[in-house]
Chains A and B, each alone.
Chain A
Amino acid sequence: MMRSRRRPSFTTVMLVLGLLFLYLPMVVLVVYSFNESRLVTVWAGFSTQWYGELFRDQQILSAVWTSLEIAFFAASMAVCLGTVAAFVMTRYGHFRGKTALSSMVTAPLVMPEVITGLSLLLLFVQMAQLIGWPADRGMATIWIAHTTFCSAYVAVVVAARLREVDRSIEEAAMDLGSPPVKTFFFVTLPVIAPALAAGWLLAFTLSLDDLVIASFVSGPGANTLPMVVFSSVRMGVSPKINALATLIILTVSLATLLAWYFMRRSEAKRQAAMQQGEGV
Chain B
Amino acid sequence: MMPSRIAGVIKRMQLGRRAVIAFPLVWLTLFFLLPFALVLKISLSESAIAIPPYGPLVEYADQTLNIFLNLGNYLFLLSDSLYVAAYWGSIKTAFVATSVCLLIGYPMAYAMARAPGRWQLILLLLVMLPSWTSFLIRVYAWMGILSNSGLINNLLLGLGVIDSPLRMMNTQFSVIVGIVYAYLPFMVLPLYAHLTRLDNSLLEAASDLGSRKINTFLKVTLPLSMGGIIAGSMLVFIPAVGEFVIPELLGGPDTLMIGKVLWEEFFLNRDWPVASALAMVMLLLLLIPIVWFHRYQSRELEE
B105, B238, B294 pick with most chain A CB within 10 angstroms: B294
Task: State which residues 238-267 of B face A: CB under 8 Å.
Answer: 238-239, 241-245, 248-249, 259, 262-263, 266-267
**Set of chain A residues within 8 Å of B234, measured between Cβ atoms:** 110
0 or 1 for each of A125-137: is its CB under 8 Å from B? (1 = yes): 1100100000000
Q: Is B23 an interface residue, CB under 8 A from the partner?
A: yes
With A22-B127, A26-B141, A253-B129 known as contacts, the answer to whether A148 contacts B31 (CB < 8 A) is: yes
**Set of chain B residues within 8 Å of A107, measured between Cβ atoms:** 32, 290, 294
Q: Is the CB of A226 within 8 A of B134?
A: yes
Q: Is A168 an interface residue, CB under 8 A from the partner?
A: no
Q: Is the CB of A229 within 8 A of B136?
A: yes
Q: Is A12 an interface residue, CB under 8 A from the partner?
A: yes
Q: Is the CB of A12 within 8 A of B134?
A: no
Q: Is B298 an interface residue, CB under 8 A from the partner?
A: yes
Interface size range on B against A: 35 or more
Q: Is the CB of B114 within 8 A of A260?
A: no
Q: Is the CB of B244 within 8 A of A114?
A: yes
B38, B188, B276 pick with most chain A CB within 10 angstroms: B38
Which one, B69-77, B149-157, B201-209, is touching chain A?
B149-157
Q: Is the CB of B297 within 8 A of A106?
A: yes
CB < 8 Å neighbour of B29 from A9, A104, A163? A104
Q: Is the CB of A41 within 8 A of B16?
A: no
Return B19 CB to nearest CB of chain A, in Å: 10
State in angstroms the CA–CA spacing of A41 and B152 once bound together: 10
CB nearest to B259 among chain A residues: A114
Q: Is A95 an interface residue, CB under 8 A from the partner?
A: yes
Q: Is the CB of A11 within 8 A of B302?
A: no
B21, B24, B272, B302 pick with most chain A CB within 10 angstroms: B24
Return A242 CB to nearest CB of chain B, in Å: 8
Q: Is the CB of A85 within 8 A of B249?
A: no
With A103-B294, A118-B275, A233-B249 known as contacts, the answer to whether A211 contacts B34 (CB < 8 A) is: no
Q: Is the CB of B104 within 8 A of A18?
A: yes
**Interface size on A (CB < 8 Å)?**
97
Which one, A44-52, A186-194, A243-251, A272-280, is touching chain B?
A243-251
0 or 1 for each of B87-119: is its CB under 8 Å from A? (1 = yes): 000000000000000001101101110100000
CB nearest to B303 among chain A residues: A163
**Set of chain A residues within 8 Å of B123, measured between Cβ atoms:** 15
Chain A at the B interface: SS class: helix
Q: Is the CB of B133 within 8 A of A84?
A: no
Q: Is the CB of B244 within 8 A of A9?
A: no
Q: Is B279 an interface residue, CB under 8 A from the partner?
A: yes
With A10-B107, A18-B105, A101-B28 known as contacts, the answer to whether A126 contacts B142 (CB < 8 A) is: no
Q: Is the CB of B137 within 8 A of A244?
A: yes
Q: Is B86 an interface residue, CB under 8 A from the partner?
A: no
Q: Is A263 an interface residue, CB under 8 A from the partner?
A: yes
State in angstroms the CA–CA spacing of A81 and B35 once bound together: 19
State in angstroms the CA–CA spacing of A84 and B293 once bound together: 22
Q: Is the CB of A211 within 8 A of B242?
A: no
0 or 1 for each of A25-44: is its CB under 8 Å from B? (1 = yes): 11011001000000111100
Q: Is the CB of A25 within 8 A of B262?
A: no
**Set of chain B residues within 8 Å of A219, measured between Cβ atoms:** none
State in angstroms the CA–CA spacing of A75 and B238 once bound together: 24
Q: Is B68 an interface residue, CB under 8 A from the partner?
A: no
**Set of chain A residues within 8 Å of B147, measured between Cβ atoms:** 41, 237
Known: A226-B136, A260-B122; 7 extra A-B contacts, CB below 8 A, are A18-B104, A19-B108, A39-B149, A102-B301, A211-B245, A241-B137, A248-B133
- Selected A-B contacts with CB under 8 Å, 7 pairs: A11-B111, A26-B138, A110-B239, A114-B259, A119-B36, A236-B143, A248-B133
